[in-house]
Amino acid sequence: DFNKVKSIEKYWMDYDFFWFVNIDSDPEPEIFSATGYSDGIDYCFIDQNLKTGKNSILFYFNPVILDSDKKYWGYPWDIKDLILKRENGQVKIKCSLDHKIERDGEIIRPDSQSQFPVICFTGKSTQPNINVEHINGFEWLTITEIIDKININEK
């Protein structure tokens, strides 16, 4: 017998990419989502609760592709993989909270976040002339540590 776990309503957008990644301590994978239009794409991680069928956005971020010694904007069609490592049984994400990246365009800017962290990916840029600068170093943090550092406030 087929047992439906979850259904998702989808709205047509110019860009609608998503991947499943397990980046926290619960067994359900999170969703890495990149959705929007040519004038702005929202990048976020979404927590799934398969018991209730509900999703909740963890946070929005700036995607950056690290390729050799270069940093490029992480367009969803250029991204290959999230840069992770496992340390002491925890999944850590390569990221930066010390940057001066300014987002423009029509994107969601939640009041609950103090900033959009940089999240690092592997991939190959189709627009190599668009370099990302103003990142002052990277660190390895768990999803919970990132959320704590960007001061997400529950409403």
Extract the tokens encoding 71: 């940093």
Q: Dump pLDDT digits (tens) for 127-154.
A: 988 889 899 999 999 999 999 999 866 5
Residue 74 has pLDDT above 60, yes or no: yes
Give me the pLDDT at residue 155, please: 46
Q: How confident is the model at residue 7 (pLDDT cuts 50, 70, 90)?
A: low
- With bands split at pLDDT 50, 70 and 90, how would you rate the model's confidence at 30? very high
Tens of pLDDT along 75-115?
Answer: 999 999 999 999 999 999 999 999 998 877 777 788 888 89
> What pLDDT, on the 0 to 100 scale, is given for residue 37?
84
Phi/psi region, residue 77 (left: phi>0; alpha: psi -120 to 50; beta: rest), is alpha
Determine contact, residues 118/136, Cβ cutoff 8 Å: no
One-letter amino acid for residue 135 of the chain: I
Nearest to 148 by CA among 85, 86, 97, 89: 97
pLDDT digits (tens, 9 = 90+) for 44-66: 999 998 888 889 999 999 999 99
Tell which phi-psi region holds residue 63, choosing left (phi > 0), alpha (psi between -120 and 50) or beta: beta
Q: Which segment of 28-32, 34-38, 71-75, 122-126 scores lowest on mean pLDDT?
A: 34-38
Q: Which long-range contacts (CB under 8 A, 24 or more apart) does 53-60 make?
A: 53/5, 53/6, 53/7, 55/8, 55/31, 57/110, 58/30, 58/143, 58/147, 58/152, 59/113, 59/116, 59/117, 59/146, 59/147, 59/150, 59/152, 60/107, 60/108, 60/109, 60/110, 60/113, 60/116
